[in-house]
Structure formats: C-alpha cells, structure tokens
Amino acid sequence: MASRKERELNEEKDWNKIDEAVISSGNFLFKYQKQLLIAVIALVVIIGGYWAYKVFVIEPKNKEAQIALFRGEQYFQSGMDSLALNGDGNGYIGFIGIISDYGSTKAGDLAKAYAGLSYARLGQYEQALGYLKDFSGGDNMITPAIKGAIGDCLVNTGKAQDAVSYFEGAAKDANDALLSPIYYKKAAVVYRDLKNYDKVISLFTKIKNDYMSSPEASEADKYITEATLLKGAQ
C-alpha cells in the first residue's frame, strides 16, 4: 500500500502532466492561430454565403417559377399540351422555358414532370421519357404517377420488359386502394404479353386479396383462369 507521501508525489506528477498538456495545446493554438482563424472565417463565409444564396436567389427564383408554372398547369389541364410545353407568346414561356430558366427549383423540377406527361399525351414518348426520368420527385402522390407514366412510355416504345418494374414500383409507392390495383394490373397485363403467366397469376391474386373492393379485383379471376390455361399449354 502506497504511503501518503508517495500518493502526493503521484498526484503532483499527474497535475504536471495536465499542465504540460494545457501548455502544449496553448502553444499549438498560438502557433497556428492564424490558420485556425482563417478556417473559422472561411466556414462562416460558406454558411453565410449559402444562406444568402438560398434567401436572395433560390427562393425568389422558385416564386417566379411557381407563377409561370401556374399558367402552364391551366393549359395542361385543358389538354393544350403544345402551348403548355412551348409557351403562348404572351408572357408564358412554357414548361421547356421554365425548366431552362428555373430547373434547379422545386417548381422547375415539377415542370419536368408536366413536360414529360405533355409529350406522352402527344405521343412523343422518347421526349417524354427524358423529362419524366429527370424528375426528382419526392411527393407521395406525384412520384407513383410519374413512375406509371414512365411504364406507359416504355410499353409504347417496345420496352415492355423494362416497363413492368416501373408499374410495380408505382403500385408499391402509391400504397393506395384506388391507384395500386391499377398499376398492378398494368404490370400483370404486360407480363401476360411476355408470357410470364406465373407473374400474371401472382399479381392478380394480390389484387384479388389485397384490393377486393377495386374494379380490378372483380376481373381478377378471369385473368387468373386464362393465365393458368395458357401456362398449362406451354
């Protein structure tokens, strides 16, 4: 057992170590205070610059884009897709112009979705796919609709195999008693064309069991019976 004097000596050594560490850190700060100060100032400038950019650039541009987008939505809802896309020559610059001028804003991103849907309605599916796939999404209602639209465009461009994953993804993302069975049916019909009858049976069984009150469920047995017969004939 250490004596009292030994304990005191050990404690003094410990305090000396702490003093040395404090002095060492103090010397480090003194030696590199200029570099540290520059680093702190740079961090403040970066944070302040981002805040200023957001407040004085991004937010005003987003408001401008929202105003322009509102007119485009009116043309879109009226089925006037060419005007919605390209503008009316009377102050409205069109979805394409909004994307070009405000593509980094939320409204600009939404314009990509509208542009893709407009091109799809015009039967210009390749152009539609470019804009629909460029849409960032995030909204629980819009994102499934865009995935479903991508699936439709892929089917219309002869890429049925690629389309089914978008339809199934749209159904899962929607997680909705009305929308999900619609997308699952789209996927099942494509699988039928691809002669993948197991997937047809699986998806229509899911519709029948999970969405029994949907219109798609009422015709599920017909598709299941047909797929079973076709599978047996393979």
- The span from the CA of 84 to the CA of 76, in Å, is 6
Q: What fold is seen in the domain 140-234?
A: 1.25.40
**pLDDT recorded at residue 208:** 96
- The span from the CA of 62 to the CA of 100, in Å, is 13
- The span from the CA of 87 to the CA of 98, in Å, is 10
**pLDDT recorded at residue 179:** 94
Q: What share of the chain is helix, strand, coil (3-state, %, to 5)?
A: 80, 0, 20
Of the candidates 108, 26, 129, 24, the residue with the CA atom closest to the CA atom of residue 65: 108
The answer to whether the CB of 55 falls within 8 A of the CB of 64 is: no
* DSSP secondary structure code for residue 32 in this structure: T
**pLDDT recorded at residue 54:** 47
Give per-10-residue mean pLDDT for the chain (234 aa): 50 50 50 53 49 48 79 94 94 94 87 96 97 86 92 97 96 94 97 96 97 96 95 83
What is the value of pTM for the model shown?
0.73
**pLDDT recorded at residue 188:** 97
Report domain extents, the chain: 38-136, 140-234
Of the candidates 78, 62, 118, the residue with the CA atom closest to the CA atom of residue 94: 118
